Amino acid sequence: MEYTIRKAQKADAKQIFELIVELAVFEKEPGEIEINYHDIIFSGFKKNPDFKCFVAEEKSNIIGIALVYNRFSTWKGKILHLEDLIVSEKFRGNGVGSALFDTVVQYASKIGVKRVSWEVLNWNNSAIKFYESKGAEIKKDWNVVHLNELGIKNYLLKISK
């Protein structure tokens, strides 16, 4: 299979969004998606974009993406966060995920960060195996915490009383 890795363009937004939906279905949370492909265009392709995206393209189809942005660690300074690494299911097993991951790590090195961070579902064994094979460390003692939209609303109601 022949494919190329390149920076995403505005015209890729719809296909990028389709891969985001595909992953959310796999992660059993498709109902949680509250953005659409217009948000991808707006947020990713403005001046000072909110993220940077690399795509894997095969015959003008986007078959994989790696979506990253900077964070600030109070231990390491500027770090790179890998929000999503997605390869469309029927194209897996061809090294596309590794090629995208290579690009992410090369980019991390180019911008001089001391860490690449991301999150993985603890039941996604194939992803965990993939990441560990890349030298990454699963930080099992750290939990992700969310205060969601309803939580924000309820909290503000509570403290305004």
Catalytic residues: 131
Chain position carrying tokens 């990713």: 44
Q: Does 41 bind its own copies (CB under 8 A)?
A: no
- The nearest distance, CB 30 to its own copies, in angstroms, is 9
Q: Exactly one of 4, 60, 74, 126 binds its own copies (CB under 8 A); which one?
A: 74
Looking only at residues 103 through 132 of this chain, which bind its own copies when binding is defined by CB under 8 A? 105-106, 108-109, 113-123, 128, 131
Say which DSSP state 60 is in.
T
- The nearest distance, CB 119 to its own copies, in angstroms, is 5
3-state secondary structure of 83: strand
Contact 8, 65 (CB under 8 A): yes
Q: Exactly one of 46, 59, 129, 140 binds its own copies (CB under 8 A); which one?
A: 140
Positive or negative torsion for Cα 27, 88, 137, 69: negative
